Amino acid sequence: MRKKRIDVAWFGPMSYYLAEREANAEAFAVGVRADGRVKYRSIFVVPGDSDAQTLEDLRGRTVAFVDPASTSGGLKILRLRIAFQLARREISRISSPRKVHLVRMDGEVVEDDKLWIIVGMLSWWAVIAMVGMLLLAFIEYDLDLESIIGVTLSSLGNTGPTLGAFGPTQTWASLHWTSMIVTSLMMWLGRLELLTVIVLLTPRVWRR
């Protein structure tokens, strides 16, 4: 599209955002399902001869997610899955304190040090998200809560389009320049390995 070789294309949320930014694409229609709903969804694809027919059947299987330009498959789902299993383990430890509780992924035990790294990363993610929301709410005082939350999570999650006043057919050009800096920093933090960046920004590391 940027090279003027096509006139019309069907894009997903993130790919449309990239097309709008890189090729000045303009959305003029959205897909509507047979029941009249406008809804985005993700699907899991398995080989034709696979015996996996439900999400439960995927337990213990190896799953490949798609590229970062996807608003669903590009997320680091593996870490969220491990965090969920860790939460389940802590509940089980309270109810059955004498039982040995292990977190497994693809049949292998996940060591506690790796588990707490994931907990630390998710905790920092939540802290940065809260700080980002507070900063944007202070700078963009005329925006509604939905837009503030949407811009923050979209920036930190690197998902492109957001909610509220900055939906898939809108741009972020109306944001104040200080908000652009805040969202850019959140995009940078969200794209890289969060704990690694936090460590690099720690003065003690540079003193060594």
pLDDT in tens, 115-126: 887 788 888 888
- Are both 72 and 96 inside the same structural domain? yes
* Choice between 92 and 70, residue whose per-residue pLDDT is larger: 92
- Are both 135 and 208 inside the same structural domain? yes
Does some domain include residue 156?
A: yes
Q: Which H or E run includes 5?
A: none
Contact 106, 62 (CB under 8 A): yes
pLDDT average, residue stretch 161-179: 79
Confidence class for position 71, pLDDT limits 50, 70, 90: low
Domain end call among 110, 130, 153: 110
* Choice between 103 and 196, residue whose per-residue pLDDT is larger: 103
- Are both 37 and 51 inside the same structural domain? no
Confidence class for position 100, pLDDT limits 50, 70, 90: confident
Among 46-50, 66-70, 159-163, which stretch is predicted with the lowest mean pLDDT?
A: 66-70
Q: Which residues pair with 108 in a beta bridge?
A: 105
Q: How many domains does the chain have?
A: 3
Does some domain include residue 65?
A: yes
- Are both 105 and 134 inside the same structural domain? no
pTM above 0.75, yes or no: no
- Are both 57 and 136 inside the same structural domain? no
Alpha helices in the chain (DSSP H): 13-23, 77-95, 112-139, 145-157, 177-191, 194-200, 203-207
Confidence class for position 59, pLDDT limits 50, 70, 90: confident
Does some domain include residue 116?
A: no
- The angle, 0 to 180 degrees and rounded to 10, between the axes of the packed helices 112-139 and 177-191 is 170
Burial pattern 64-77, b for ≥16 Cβ within 10 A else e, equals: eeeeeebbbbbbee
Task: Look up residue 116 and give its two tokens.
Answer: 């707490």
What are the distances in angstroms from CA 208 to CA 107, 197, 200, 201, 202?
40, 17, 12, 13, 11
- Are both 105 and 143 inside the same structural domain? no
The domain of 180 spans 122-208
- Are both 52 and 34 inside the same structural domain? no
Does some domain include residue 169?
A: yes
- Are both 128 and 205 inside the same structural domain? yes
Q: Is residue 110 pLDDT above 60, yes or no?
A: yes
End-to-end Cα distance, the chain:
50
